[in-house]
């Protein structure tokens, strides 16, 4: 499976947002787990307190410091997730010591793997890394678990958890492709909207330039036939040129919005307009077909 995926330009902001979002989510989940264990009167939960403190520190850090490189936030997210998974391993070891089957064996690994698929983190490799840890750590846990404690673990493990992680990996890949498709569709819609605005502007320019150009053409025809004095012709020409100057001043306000590094040189303006008009006609014909 190809894990490569184009990352967005604002990767730093998305990595920061991912770390903060999951830190808050983990913190809420840990508080629920702590309350649940206390209500059930079960095992000690000091490892969950440590994980909750880590998540709380990450939340505080994300609010205080934001201008860190994406790699920092990515590794911080992986480290925070790894700490919770290690706590899950320790908790599973304590439950195996108690004896009897787990009510929900290795549930923390399954939940975290599915969470990566439902809300894909950025950079994308962090999600696959955490899912990989969710599948690898249970295997190592059961490999090194003493034989005397093995009856305390479900016979379905670790294969049940591995199945969850494989499904989560495919779901994550599908989710990332869906996000990229949504972005592509949004880009196409934005381009279509921009072309529609451009067409309206071009029509407005045609209407605004037609009147002075018609006046110049009519003045030239009257002068040629001698039906108009030079003074009157000059007045008509000055009025037409004044309208064209006003239009030019109006268009100058748009110069600041042009990226001159990629802008088409002015001497290619006619060919550029012709290319755009030809593409518009082809697009119109394709829609009719």
In order, the DSSP letters of 252-281 are HTTGGG--TTTPPPGGGHHHHHHHHHHHHH
Tell me which of 53-57, 230-234, 279-283 is least confident.
279-283
Residue appearing with tokens 């850090």: 61
Question: pLDDT at position 217, please?
Answer: 81
The angle subtended at Cα 169 by Cα 165 and Cα 172, nearest 5°, is 130
Q: Kindly give, in sequence order, each residue whose CB lies less than 8 Å from that of residue 249, ignoring residues fewer than 6 positions away.
A: none
Q: How many CB atoms lie within 10 A of CB 156?
A: 13
**Spatial distance between the Cα atoms of 282 and 121, rounded to a whole number of angstroms:** 41
**Spatial distance between the Cα atoms of 182 and 82, rounded to a whole number of angstroms:** 31
| Domain presence at residue 239 | no
| Domain presence at residue 281 | no
Tell me what the mean pLDDT of segment 97-126 comes to. 81
**Spatial distance between the Cα atoms of 114 and 172, rounded to a whole number of angstroms:** 9
| Domain presence at residue 245 | no
Q: Are 20 and 62 in contact (CB under 8 A)?
A: yes
| Domain presence at residue 152 | yes
Residue 106: DSSP 8-state: T
**Spatial distance between the Cα atoms of 10 and 14, rounded to a whole number of angstroms:** 6
| Domain presence at residue 115 | yes
Q: Are 88 and 102 in contact (CB under 8 A)?
A: no
| Domain presence at residue 264 | no
**Spatial distance between the Cα atoms of 28 and 19, rounded to a whole number of angstroms:** 14
Q: Compute and round to an integer the Cα radius of gyration of the chain.
A: 34
Question: pLDDT at position 52, please?
Answer: 92
| Domain presence at residue 270 | no
Range of the domain at 169: 11-186
Tell me which of 46-55, 128-137, 159-168, 199-208 is least confident.
199-208
Distance from CA of residue 106 to its chain's centroid? Answer: 32
**Spatial distance between the Cα atoms of 52 and 13, rounded to a whole number of angstroms:** 24
Smallest CA-to-CA distance from 117 within 77, 162, 161, 172 is with: 172
Question: pLDDT at position 11, please?
Answer: 59
Which position has the higher pLDDT, 25 or 150?
A: 25
% of the chain residues with pLDDT over 70: 79
Tell me what the mean pLDDT of segment 211-227 comes to. 80
Q: In a 10 Å sphere around its CB, with 0-12 CB exposed, 13-18 middle and 19+ buried, how is residue 132 labelled?
A: middle
* pTM passes above 0.85: no
Q: What is the pLDDT of residues 148-198, one digit of tens each?
A: 777 767 777 788 889 999 999 999 999 999 988 988 888 888 888 888 887
The angle subtended at Cα 169 by Cα 164 and Cα 170, nearest 5°, is 100
Question: pLDDT at position 75, please?
Answer: 94
**Spatial distance between the Cα atoms of 194 and 187, rounded to a whole number of angstroms:** 10
Q: How many CB atoms lie within 10 A of CB 76?
A: 20
Which position has the higher pLDDT, 92 or 21?
A: 21
| Domain presence at residue 211 | no
Total domains, the chain: 1
Q: What is the pLDDT of residues 47-60, one digit of tens each?
A: 888 999 999 999 99
**Spatial distance between the Cα atoms of 282 and 286, rounded to a whole number of angstroms:** 6
Tell me what the mean pLDDT of segment 11-33 comes to. 85
């Amino acid at each position: 499976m190809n894990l490569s995926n184009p990352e967005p330009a604002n990767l730093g902001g998305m990595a920061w947002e991912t770390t903060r979002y999951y830190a808050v989510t983990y913190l809420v989940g840990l508080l629920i787990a702590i309350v649940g264990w206390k209500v059930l009167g079960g095992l000690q939960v000091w490892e969950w307190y440590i994980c909750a403190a880590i998540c709380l520190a990450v939340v505080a850090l994300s609010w205080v410091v934001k201008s860190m490189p994406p790699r920092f936030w990515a590794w911080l997210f992986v480290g925070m997730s790894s700490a919770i998974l290690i706590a899950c391993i320790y908790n599973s070891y304590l439950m195996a010591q108690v004896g009897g089957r787990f009510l929900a064996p290795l549930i923390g690994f399954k939940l975290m793997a599915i969470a990566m698929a439902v809300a894909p983190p950025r950079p994308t490799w962090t999600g696959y890394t955490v899912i990989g840890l969710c599948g690898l750590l249970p295997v190592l846990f059961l490999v090194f678990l003493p034989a005397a404690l093995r009856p305390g673990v479900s016979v379905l493990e670790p294969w049940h958890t591995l199945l969850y992680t494989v499904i989560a990996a495919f779901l994550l890949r599908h989710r990332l492709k869906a996000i990229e498709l949504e972005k592509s569709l949004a880009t196409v819609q934005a381009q279509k909207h921009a072309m529609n605005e451009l067409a309206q502007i071009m029509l407005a320019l045609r209407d605004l330039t037609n009147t002075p150009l018609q006046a110049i053409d009519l003045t030239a025809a009257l002068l040629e036939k001698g039906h108009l004095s030079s003074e009157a012709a000059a007045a008509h020409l000055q009025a037409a040129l004044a309208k064209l100057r006003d239009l030019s001043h109006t268009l100058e306000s748009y110069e600041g919005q042009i990226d001159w590094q990629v802008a088409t040189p002015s001497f290619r303006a006619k060919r550029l307009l012709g290319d755009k008009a030809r593409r518009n006609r082809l697009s119109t014909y394709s829609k009719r077909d």
